[in-house]
Amino acid sequence: MNLNQLTFREAVQEDLDKIVFMLSDDKLGQKRERYTRPLLESYIKAFQSIDADPNIELIVACDQEEAVGVLQLTMTPFLTHQGGWRASIEGVRTASSHRGKGVGSLLIKWAIQRASNRGCHMIQLTTDKQRPEARHFYKKLGFEATHEGMKLHLPHE
């Protein structure tokens, strides 16, 4: 793989199978994702909602035509920071065949530039505390742990 030939684009529905596979292909993802064929209808509906929202971009990194990395970039307006926009990165994954080769770094750098181009004043992300290597990865890219994040999981059917 030549990193100079890596391309980035918005995902299309035909990428969804590969994306769900990447999301489920790690220790934590195996616990919360369900990669089956056919894909669960919930993945398809989520993709359609993401695709329809102009402030959410599901981005894939491609080696030739193959999706080898993914992230979701969400731009949100806030009243804070004088009505500024900020971007959030979620669901970052690299295909196991391409991990450790720089794909993730280029994908995050691409997302930072994209958020800047969209007028965002800040980009943020969370990473699971069970992933110390991910925390180190994001720090190397300039992210700082300035806040303590909290989550509340809601019951669903």
Q: What is the pLDDT of residue 30?
A: 86
Number of domains in the chain: 1
pLDDT for 157 beyond 80: no
Is residue 37 in a domain?
Answer: yes
Residue 149 DSSP class = -
Is residue 150 in a domain?
Answer: no
Which tens digit of pLDDT belongs to each residue from 16-62?
A: 999 999 999 988 888 899 999 999 999 999 999 999 999 999 999 99
Nearest to 91 by CA among 2, 11, 154, 153: 11
Is residue 91 in a domain?
Answer: yes
Q: What is the pLDDT of residue 1?
A: 75
- The C-alpha atoms of residue 123 and residue 50 are separated, in whole angstroms, by 19
Percent of the chain at pLDDT > 90 equals 85
What CATH number should be reported for the domain holding residue 125?
A: 3.40.630.30
Work out the number of other CB atoms within 10 angstroms of the CB of residue 33.
17
Is residue 154 in a domain?
Answer: no
pTM across the whole model: 0.93
Is residue 151 in a domain?
Answer: no
Residue 55 belongs to domain spanning: 4-140
- b/e sequence 116-128, b meaning 16+ C-beta within 10 Å: eeeebeebbbebe
Is residue 157 in a domain?
Answer: no
Is residue 73 in a domain?
Answer: yes
Is residue 156 in a domain?
Answer: no
Cβ–Cβ < 8 Å for 33, 20:
yes
